[in-house]
Amino acid sequence: MGAIDPFISELVLDEPSLRWFGFSIVEAHDGIAIVTLAVGTSHVNGNGTTHGGVVFALADQAFAMAANTVLRFAATADAQIAYLASTRVGDLLVATARTAYHDDRRAVIDVEVMSRDRTVALYRGTARALRQTQ
């Protein structure tokens, strides 16, 4: 397991969607993040391939983890994905997010989702910092 920014650990401590999807955060620090998913029977659609929404959610989770290491309390402003290959039950999906740009208010993050040494999807998103009120 790689380094996980303490802010990220606190942020996801009680995040229900992580458990619901079955995501594992492997690494999240300094504008990068790695999140994995072992594809199970609940992740596939009628033709036996991993549902695109699951792949998007995995990429978005990695995006969010990377964004929140450079912008505290970031939210998605926009996101797009290109699906390049399919996966099936038993495959391990690895989403690696890298910050391409950030300033004090926004960040652009690129995510590559891989499985079995091939690119499954490419995702790019823009995050914006949220104002915090106590």
**Interval 94-130: pLDDT, tens:** 999 999 999 999 999 999 999 999 999 999 999 999 9
Using pLDDT thresholds of 50, 70 and 90, give the confidence band for residue 11: confident
DSSP summary character for residue 104: S
**CATH fold for the domain made of 6-129:** Thiol Ester Dehydrase; Chain A (3.10.129)
> Which has more confidence, 78 or 72?
78
List the domain boundaries for the chain: 6-129
Helix (H, G, I), strand (E, B) or coil at 18: helix
* Residue environment code for 99-130, b if the CB has 16+ CB neighbours within 10 A, otherwise e: beebeeebbbbbbbbbbeeeebbebbbbbebe
Q: What is the pLDDT of residue 132?
A: 65
Summary mean pLDDT of the chain = 95
Encode pLDDT of 20-76 as tens digits.
999 999 999 999 999 999 999 999 999 999 999 999 999 999 999 999 999 989 999
Residue with tokens 């290959």: 85
Using pLDDT thresholds of 50, 70 and 90, give the confidence band for residue 134: very low
Q: What is the pLDDT of residue 1?
A: 58
Q: If we measure between CA atoms, which residue out of 29, 14, 30, 88 comes closest to residue 54?
A: 88
